[in-house]
Amino acid sequence: MTRKSGNPLFTGWYADPEARIFDGRYWIYPTYSDVYEKQIFFDAFHSDDLIEWTKVEQILDLSGVSWANKAVWAPSPIEKDGKYYLYFAANDIQSNEELGGIGVAVAERPEGPFIDPLGHPLVDQFVFGAQPIDPHIFIDDDGTPYLYYGGWGHCNVVKLKPDMISLDSFEDGTIYKEITPSGYVEGPCMLKRDGKYYFMWSEGGWGGPHYSVAYAISESPLGPFERVEKILFEDPAVATGAGHHGFLHIPGTDEWYIVYHRRPLEETAANHRVVCIDRMEFREDGTIRPVQLTFEGVQARSLPDKS
């Protein structure tokens, strides 16, 4: 009998998962889903087969981030030159007069500990109407790092310098570019497949049943991004509030998995969210098939041997 992961992947209220492959192992970095005053740390989970997940507690807490005091969410990790960078939102600022925004922390290992090297947010202002939350880091094939972010219905992208902890400028001299597609609310995510850029985002209200994910395809990491369709949304037989996702791509294959949060049918509290995984498949024309929410999850899948 084929083993499957089951959904949710692990116990506990977690949301906004970002998934990566580090050192031949699957990793998931989620938000600890609770009231903002208790969202003051990140846990992470790793697996060798997508089935058994090991929890690493408090890879980052606010003792290592002097400017943050609550509402730490939406972690986005990346590896570059042997170091691990974790971008995150903190403090849920409502105006430019408040301290907070998007921070960055650095570690020597995927499990941390992650420490803030700046002592202040990387992005701390509202630009083009985008609340500085929900960062997503993407490094293009040419090595250029882009940080997508934004709430309140606006999405911006910034380019990072090679040090990964400071903002760079684009060729036209600007630092921020707004790339908001139709329907965008929050939770940006970028993947590249066959030379095309798939920009994805969440729509609807995160606390309600109709949270969902839509996407666009472009020839450039800067867009333009024209909405194609929704690919992740509630299933009255399985769960509601399916959104704010990451993904896993098995190297050397065209196997893709979407890692996302959803709300069990028996739950109505906004923070009662769990992390799940399902297959993400592409049609022959390159568009993405709507994802089927399952209780079974996905089959066991070990990573290719790096040797």
Q: Residues 84-114, buried b or exposed e (16+ Cβ, 10 A)?
A: bbbbbbbbbbeeeeeebbbbbbbbeebbbeb
pLDDT, average across residues 18-39: 98
Q: Where are the beta strands (DSSP E) in the chain?
A: 14-22, 25-32, 41-47, 54-61, 73-80, 83-90, 101-107, 136-139, 145-149, 156-160, 167-168, 177-178, 186-193, 196-203, 212-218, 227-232, 239-249, 256-264, 274-279
* CATH code assigned at 226: 2.115.10.20
Encoding tokens for residue 80? 């570059």
Q: Is residue 299 domain-resident?
A: no
Amino acid at 105: A
Encoding tokens for residue 202? 């969440």
**What pLDDT, on the 0 to 100 scale, is given for residue 64?**
85
pLDDT at 198 exceeding the cut of 90: yes
pLDDT, average across residues 29-46: 98
Domain that holds residue 53: 14-279
Q: What is the mean pLDDT of the chain?
A: 97
216-251 pLDDT per residue, tens: 999 999 999 999 999 999 999 999 999 999 999 999
What are the CA-CA distances from residue 2 to residues 116, 228, 277, 301 (Å)? Answer: 43, 34, 16, 11
77-95 pLDDT per residue, tens: 999 999 999 999 999 999 9
Q: Which residues contact 1 (CB under 8 A, 6 or more apart)?
A: none
pLDDT at 203 exceeding the cut of 80: yes
| pTM exceeds cut of 0.75 | yes
Q: Is residue 296 domain-resident?
A: no
Q: Residues 218-254, buried b or exposed e (16+ Cβ, 10 A)?
A: beebebebebbebbbbbeeebbbbbbbbbbbbbeeee
**What pLDDT, on the 0 to 100 scale, is given for residue 1?**
67
Q: Residues 182-197, buried b or exposed e (16+ Cβ, 10 A)?
A: eebbbbbbbbeeeeeb
pLDDT, average across residues 84-112: 98
What values do phi and psi take at 101, rounded to 5? 130, -135
Encoding tokens for residue 72? 């730490």
What does the angle CA 160 – CA 161 – CA 166 come to, to the nearest 5 degrees?
A: 70
pLDDT at 266 exceeding the cut of 90: yes
Q: Is residue 131 domain-resident?
A: yes
Cβ-contact 9, 297 below 8 angstroms: yes
**What pLDDT, on the 0 to 100 scale, is given for residue 306?**
61
Band (307; pLDDT cuts 50, 70, 90): very low
What values do phi and psi take at 64, rounded to 5? -100, 5
pLDDT at 34 exceeding the cut of 70: yes
3-state SS, residue 8: coil
Integer Cα distance of 254 and 249 in angstroms: 7
The total domain count for the chain is 1
Q: Is residue 6 domain-resident?
A: no
Q: Is residue 9 domain-resident?
A: no
Q: Is residue 198 domain-resident?
A: yes
147-178 pLDDT per residue, tens: 999 999 999 999 999 999 999 999 999 999 99
Sign for the CA dihedral angle at 246, 247, 248, 252 comes to negative
Q: Is residue 133 domain-resident?
A: yes
pLDDT, average across residues 119-125: 98
Band (305; pLDDT cuts 50, 70, 90): confident
Band (118; pLDDT cuts 50, 70, 90): very high
Q: Is residue 152 domain-resident?
A: yes
Query: Catalytic residue numbers?
Result: 16, 186
Residue with tokens 């498949």: 281
Q: Which of 159, 154, 130 lies closest to 222 in space, CA to CA?
A: 159
